């Protein structure tokens, strides 16, 4: 039984790492926008696909009454209420040539991603603590 629990925790950690890497790709896309717009779009779309798929897995498999679920839910909400809308607004501003708005939305996204990364690091630490038990 302990082995099955450990395997599940490792699997959850792997999905969380992939979720975090999706944010890295999305952030990279924002940074590339000014210099390599085609690459930026590919990176942002790939990152979005990764975060969407891994978030779906984590939301559906984590026990709703667990600390892990609570911590992940915070990350999920930051993504859906700040990061994704900022990315959409950034693209619209870029297409309109509104450089000031691009910069503002890029900063909002960057700040939110930094918060998500800290929360996900804490999430990973919780998984390690569970493995030690």
The strand ranges marked E within 1-133 are none
pLDDT in single tens digits along all 133 residues of the chain:
577 777 888 888 899 999 999 999 998 888 887 788 888 889 988 999 999 999 999 999 999 999 999 999 999 999 999 999 998 898 889 889 998 998 898 899 889 999 999 999 999 888 888 766 6
Q: Which domain holds residue 61?
A: 2-132
How many folded domains does the chain comprise? 1
Domain at 61, CATH number: 1.20.120.230
How many angstroms separate the CA atoms of 74 and 83, rounded? 13
Q: What is the pTM assigned to this prediction? A: 0.84
In the chain, what is the greatest distance between 2 CA atoms, to the nearest angstrom? 58
**Nearest partner of 91 among 109, 114, 113, 78, judged by Cα:** 109
């Amino acid at each position: 039984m302990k082995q099955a629990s450990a395997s599940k925790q490792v699997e959850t950690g792997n999905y969380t790492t992939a979720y975090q890497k999706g944010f890295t790709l999305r952030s990279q896309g924002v940074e590339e926008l000014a210099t390599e717009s085609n690459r930026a779009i590919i990176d942002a779309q790939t990152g979005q696909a990764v975060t969407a798929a891994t978030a779906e897995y984590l939301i559906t498999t984590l026990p709703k009454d667990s600390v892990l679920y609570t911590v992940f839910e915070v990350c999920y909400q930051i993504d859906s209420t700040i990061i994704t809308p900022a990315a959409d607004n950034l693209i619209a501003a870029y297409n309109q040539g509104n450089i000031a708005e691009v910069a503002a939305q890029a900063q909002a996204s960057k700040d939110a991603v930094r918060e998500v990364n800290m929360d996900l690091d804490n999430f990973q630490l919780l998984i390690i603590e569970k493995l030690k038990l």
